[in-house]
Amino acid sequence: MKAKILTLVVMVLFLGHARAQVDNNKRLEGSWLGTLSVNSINLRVIFKFKLSGDTVKVTLDSPDQGAKNIPLKGGWMKGDSVFIDAPALRGFYHGVMLPGDSLVNGNWTQGGASMSLTLHHLKMEFKMNRPQEPKGPFPYVSEDLTFLNAKANIELAGTLTLPQGKGPFPAVVMVTGSGRQNRDEELMGHKPFLLIADYLTRHGIAVLRYDDRGSFRSQGNFAESTTFDFADDAEAAFNYLRQRKEINPKEIGIIGHSEGGLIAPIVASRNPQVAFIVMLAGPGVPGSDIILEQIRLIDQAAGMSKEKIDNALKAEEKLFRILKQQPDQERAAEMMTGVLDKNIEEDKDATPEEKVQAKSSIPMEIKQINTVWFRTFIDTDPRDYLSKVKCPVLALNGAKDLQVPPDLDLAEIEKALKKAGNKHSEVKKMPDLNHLFQHCTTGSPMEYGQIEETFSPEALGIIADWILKTVK
């Protein structure tokens, strides 16, 4: 009898403790915003807590890096202490909730480094402020549609905006940059293609923008596609516009951003019906040259030492040589693993823990570059196509672009167009703009999400004025 009473007492105490723990965890429910300072760069992070029974599910957003809903292992409270476990990120948070349950002071530890991180409880959903994003009603027609790439036998989905009036109108095809992109080229809360389409259409230019193949509503295999496959998609969009009665078939051009700025001259070099092209931060040298300079500039902006940058560049050059010379992906992966492993071991400043962490990231790094797209990109020379482009060309670059550096690329674009005998080209470097054509401070990609401006109004005006002048 006594044993039964004792068991009952233990159960009651356990259930009471469990309820107390659940009640305590309820203090975490909702979203908490904090800012990490990493190498003089501020990164916002948002932890989202949701109770599920007696456990707390946690996800992480990093809006300034374009990351959302990353699942973490869990979170919990013990007294006023807050804990978040994120082994997949090699991270852990420990903080103390202050009276009022709206502020937590603590530290985020990741890869052996500890950073102060204060979390603020959000009363409403976090939203990026994007004051330029177009809002309806719109003074033009917007039509969602699909068109066929007959060569690949896939349908691509997009949106065509048509100015008011009878037409026929001049028109452009919008081509996105690298990576899986939707028709608005949406990233970090910005929708630059939506803004450009709105501006141009209000100024009498029809715009067709579409989802990348294999992405969102478009058919196809994105992972196995190269720049030249995406060029076929852009040409299919161009050919579709030629069939529309509202469009002047002799006044259709292509606007490409970043990799799209390589695709535009590829299409124009082989299709004399392209009326003009606009290269927004388009490359003028092979992808391998661009990436090496990109690494140097971005690491420099992050405050890395010259020695570390030089070592990173040497390793990257070795990786590129392997990718160019070794077609077998498995063998290439083995060789690249050896290069990266040696580079990590030779880092005198890294702790043993940091070396272990760095080595664990090698497979993912190799997976990202050991692809048919990346191999094609680093080996493709834009000058081979620019030197054959006869139609008018506008090439714009931000002076603070660290991803497609203007001093490396614009001069080569200009030389290649002169070689083509192109007398209708304009090459312009725009002060204080980054790769996304935002006014910026350093040009670092880490700033993209923090900047409220989506696209420079001056750049929008230059593009529209140049197109209208060109098709007169």
Two structure tokens written together for 173: 């095809």
pTM score = 0.86
Q: How far apart are CA 20 and CA 11, in angstroms?
A: 14
The residues near 172 (Cβ < 8 Å, ≥ 6 apart) are: 200, 205, 206, 207, 208, 252, 253, 254, 255, 278, 467
Per residue of the chain (472 residues), give pLDDT as tens: 445 544 444 444 433 344 445 567 788 899 999 998 876 678 899 999 998 777 788 999 998 887 889 999 988 888 899 999 998 888 899 999 999 989 999 999 887 778 899 999 999 888 889 999 999 999 999 999 999 999 999 999 999 999 999 889 999 999 999 999 999 999 988 999 999 999 999 999 999 999 999 999 999 999 999 999 999 999 999 999 999 999 999 999 999 999 999 999 999 999 999 999 999 999 999 999 999 999 999 888 878 888 888 888 999 999 999 999 999 999 999 999 999 999 888 888 788 877 887 888 899 889 999 999 999 999 999 999 999 999 999 999 999 999 999 999 999 999 999 999 999 999 999 999 999 999 999 998 889 988 999 999 999 999 999 999 999 8
Q: How far apart are CA 400 and CA 435, in angstroms?
A: 7
Two structure tokens written together for 140: 């033009």
Question: Quick one: which of 203, 201, 219, 192 has its CA closest to 142?
Answer: 201
Two structure tokens written together for 113: 């480094």
Task: List every span in the chain annotated with CATH 2.40.128.120.
Answer: 27-121
- Packing angle between helix 306-325 and helix 329-345, nearest 10 degrees? 160
Two structure tokens written together for 346: 């030779």
Phi, psi of 239 (to 5 degrees): -65, -35
Class of domain 27-121: mainly beta
What single-letter amino acid sits at 14?
F
* Whole-number pLDDT of residue 93: 94
CATH of domain 141-286+380-470: 3.40.50.1820
Task: List every span in the chain annotated with CATH 3.40.50.1820.
Answer: 141-286+380-470
Question: Quick one: which of 72, 106, 114 has its CA closest to 89?
Answer: 72
